[in-house]
Structure 1
Amino acid sequence: MENDSGKIIFTLSGLNETRTNKQVFFAFSLLIFLCTLLVDLTLIVTISLERNLHTPMYVFLCSLCLNAMYGATGFYPKLLHDLLSDSQVISYAACVTQMFVVYNYVFCEFFNLTMMTYDRYNAICRPLEYHAIMTPRKVRKLLLTAWIFPFSEAMIGILLTIRLPLCGFSIDKLYCTNWEVVKLACVDTTLNNFYGYILMFLHIFQFFVITVSYIHIIRTCLRSRAEQKKFMETCLPHLIALINFTVSVAFDALYSRYGSKSTLLALRNTLTIEYLMVPPLLNPLIYGLKLKQVRRGFCRRFGIKVSSLK
């Protein structure tokens, strides 16, 4: 069965239980979206303007916030539009675009968090060699990898998906995902599934590398009180961001493949959009509160007395 992609319209059924409270959900979602953009942009501007923050750790943090804004703008506008509409539909082209942005954001987020782990490992476990390892050229290469490789991952996934003829047009979610569209295909999807497993094992390997790195970091920090203080200030925010993002993405991936539709829709929605809503808003707040350099730079730029902050 061949489809004309220009005429395909998908129905999103994720908002079926929110019809009576759409205005409340709209106001809440709009507030979160604006706050997300504000806190991430504030952190990016602070890091960009403060010369003493032009170090690898803060450059990677800036990249993390930039990716958060990218992911938020790929998710919220459509959600806000649907909350004001009587029917939740999306064209094929818009669905493919949203799929690409969301997956690119997820892959880029994980690569950024991996880069930050590598930076913290070198700073704490190899302090004497840190500046020789984390050179400006090395940082540029890591940044390019963290953006280009996820772009390629997402693009391959999209190309494998758009080749499939579809026999259904109802997506049981708030937004478009590759897996939900693949489930609507009329033909064998073994190649898509195989690529999905490749991505899964690749990112599991990344998580394994991160875990091993943190084992070494924690061992090193246990040796002195100064290193423990450094861990609490620079590594703890990263560890919180990493655990929160990894757990929420893993849940969404597993639930999409093996979850039951009998679960309450509101609960499903909450659990499957957590990684799109919470990390982009929470991460800059955690880093801004925990990192003294960022707090002081923010205070200088926005005219707040540093002495008033403890």
Structure 2
Amino acid sequence: MNSTKDSWFILSAYVDTKLLKYLWFIILTSLYALIIICNVLLTVVICVNRSLHEPMYMFLCSLFVNELYGSTGLFPLLLVQILSDVHTVSIPFCFLQVFFLHTYGTTEFGNLAIMSYDRYLAICFPLQYSSRMTANKVKVLVAAAWFHSFLIVISTTSLSFSLQLCGNVINKVYCDNYSVVKLACSDTTVNNVYGLFVSVSSVFLLLSLIVYTYMRILRVCYSGSRQTRQKAISTCIPHLVSLINFGFGGLFEIMQSRFDMSRVPNLLRIFLSLYFLTCQPLFNPLMYGLNMSKIRNSCKKLFSFK
């Protein structure tokens, strides 16, 4: 990598909170522990309970594993930086975090798109659901979501790593790809074209799939019986809420990265940038764990001493 003489990046968004940094450290450590416990618990419950080896729960398992993956890419460095007086990170480690966080985001979106397709088949084709959503198809869809994410992020990170940088200050509390590209003094045309291609081929196509499936689901709800509407609502609400939460987090991240946020208070900017990576991993297991009776009952059985 051609860069400045520095071999590290400075994360300049951290504020000097003096002794309050220990309070923030305790709060974020507790949040990380809660995320780990909730996602590991539900992953284990789904894996060990054969009655939950259905497509919907397998997709949820992939979602929970991705929450663990993304949190691991964020929290360890974040906790170290909070206690440190010098907020620097080595260039290789920074790009490693970029890889973790971007694969987390793209895999999350892919999982949510697959889950919307699964709900579409379950509600619009209930009698053919078992033949359309087979165990092999579930494996292929989950593998495709992860493989596609890793493939495009490896390419994106490789292009960014080859840039010549004329600065080393990232105005965030973690590393992200766009912040690194903004430091480049070499030609970034390839990066921009590839980024546009990825946005069109990935985000647009997955978003189109989600919109299409929910339009079909709404049509069935309007034309179907009351029982059909209740079933559709009960199975789609957790996914819809998770999707909206993810969308808001993504919007906050775009605003933080693409627009001038200098007039926004620093603490609010930090919150907006972290919302995308902290609320979703905690929100999803709580939402699905509390709303789905099969998961609740399985958790009770797991901890039952009878």
Normalised TM-score (structure 2) = 0.95
* More displaced 10-residue stretch of structure 1: 187-196 or 198-207: 198-207
User: Within the alignment, does 1:276 sit opposite 2:277 as a pair?
Assistant: yes
Shift of 1:254: 3.7
Shift of 1:76: 0.3
For residues 38 and 231 of structure 1, what CA distance do their matches in structure 2 show? 30
* More displaced 10-residue stretch of structure 1: 102-111 or 8-17: 8-17
For residues 172 and 208 of structure 1, what CA distance do their matches in structure 2 show? 33
Q: Percent identity?
A: 39
User: Within the alignment, does 1:160 sit opposite 2:159 as a pair?
Assistant: yes
User: Within the alignment, does 1:258 sit opposite 2:259 as a pair?
Assistant: yes
SS of 1:261 mapped into structure 2? coil
Shift of 1:231: 2.3
SS of 1:38 mapped into structure 2? helix
The question of whether the paired residues in 1 share the 8 Å contact of 2:2 and 2:162 is answered with no
For residues 232 and 295 of structure 1, what CA distance do their matches in structure 2 show? 19
Match of 2:35 in 1: 36
Structure 1, residues 257-276: CA drift from partner, whole Å, max 9, x if none?
12332221111111111110
For residues 170 and 24 of structure 1, what CA distance do their matches in structure 2 show? 26
Query: Which residue identity lines up with residue 104 of structure 2 in the other structure?
Result: Y
Cα 1:304–1:285 shift into 2, 3 Å: farther
Shift of 1:205: 2.7
Query: Which residue identity lines up with residue 233 of structure 1 in the other structure?
Result: S
Match of 1:183 in 2: 182
The question of whether the paired residues in 2 share the 8 Å contact of 1:234 and 1:290 is answered with no
SS of 1:295 mapped into structure 2? helix
SS of 1:175 mapped into structure 2? coil
Q: How does 1:1-310 map to 2 (within 5 A)?
A: 2-3=2-3, 8-201=7-200, 202-222=202-222, 223-303=224-304
Cα 1:116–1:106 shift into 2, 3 Å: same
The question of whether the paired residues in 1 share the 8 Å contact of 2:4 and 2:165 is answered with no
Normalised TM-score (structure 1) = 0.94
The question of whether the paired residues in 1 share the 8 Å contact of 2:4 and 2:167 is answered with no
Structure 1, residues 195-243: CA drift from partner, whole Å, max 9, x if none?
2222222302311220121121122123222222222322100000011
For residues 77 and 303 of structure 1, what CA distance do their matches in structure 2 show? 33
For residues 259 and 125 of structure 1, what CA distance do their matches in structure 2 show? 45
Cα 1:172–1:153 shift into 2, 3 Å: same
For residues 204 and 2 of structure 2, what CA distance do their matches in structure 1 show? 36
Structure 1, residues 158-184: CA drift from partner, whole Å, max 9, x if none?
001000011101100010001001111
The question of whether the paired residues in 1 share the 8 Å contact of 2:21 and 2:82 is answered with yes
For residues 215 and 10 of structure 1, what CA distance do their matches in structure 2 show? 45
Query: Which residue identity lines up with residue 154 of structure 1 in the other structure?
Result: V
Structure 1, residues 269-294: CA drift from partner, whole Å, max 9, x if none?
11111110001001011101111111
* More displaced 10-residue stretch of structure 1: 16-25 or 77-86: 16-25
Shift of 1:10: 0.6
The question of whether the paired residues in 2 share the 8 Å contact of 1:17 and 1:266 is answered with no
Give me the CA root mean square deviation. 1.7
The question of whether the paired residues in 1 share the 8 Å contact of 2:252 and 2:276 is answered with no
The question of whether the paired residues in 1 share the 8 Å contact of 2:13 and 2:171 is answered with yes
